[in-house]
Amino acid sequence: MRDNVKILVVSRDPSIRDFIVDVLEFSVNREVLWARNETEALDHFDTYGQTDIIFCDEVLERMSGRDLLVAIKKDQPRCIGILIAAPPDDVHAVAPEVVDAYLESPSDIQALFDIVQRFVVEG
């Protein structure tokens, strides 16, 4: 199990954001930080430093979730990027170093638990 995992959830939709944060806090038993948009997300990294996992909506205010993950991974290549979107038809079109996993439905609790198991528990 990875210790002291820092998780950030980025979504402009408060119901999606709050649901994922609540499920993650319950399953990993620690505080999960959140941001409403890409600006807050980037500010988060300036304030809190290294983050281990970021859950990011595909649709943000001024850029796509993929673009945000690209920007973050330039400075933090070990950050795990989970895109809240259906995977593209051609998963090879998105570089695997940008998107580590997809969360197709943010209300799919089992999928969230599976991601926690894969990236937090199993490390």
Q: Which tens digits make up the pLDDT trace of 41-75? A: 999 988 888 899 999 999 899 999 999 999 999 98
Summarised one tens digit per residue, pLDDT across range 7-37 is: 999 999 999 999 999 999 888 877 899 999 9
Tell me which residue of 37, 31, 29 sits closest to 56, measured CA to CA.
37
CA dihedral 73, 63, 110, 76 (to 10 degrees): 10
Structure pTM?
Answer: 0.89
Closest among 2, 7, 13 to 112, alpha carbons compared: 7
Q: Under a CB-based contact definition with an 8 Å cutoff, are residues 41 and 35 in contact?
A: yes
Query: In the structure, what pLDDT confidence band is assigned to residue 1 with cuts at 50, 70 and 90?
Result: low
Range of weakest confidence among 1-15, 77-91, 101-115: 77-91
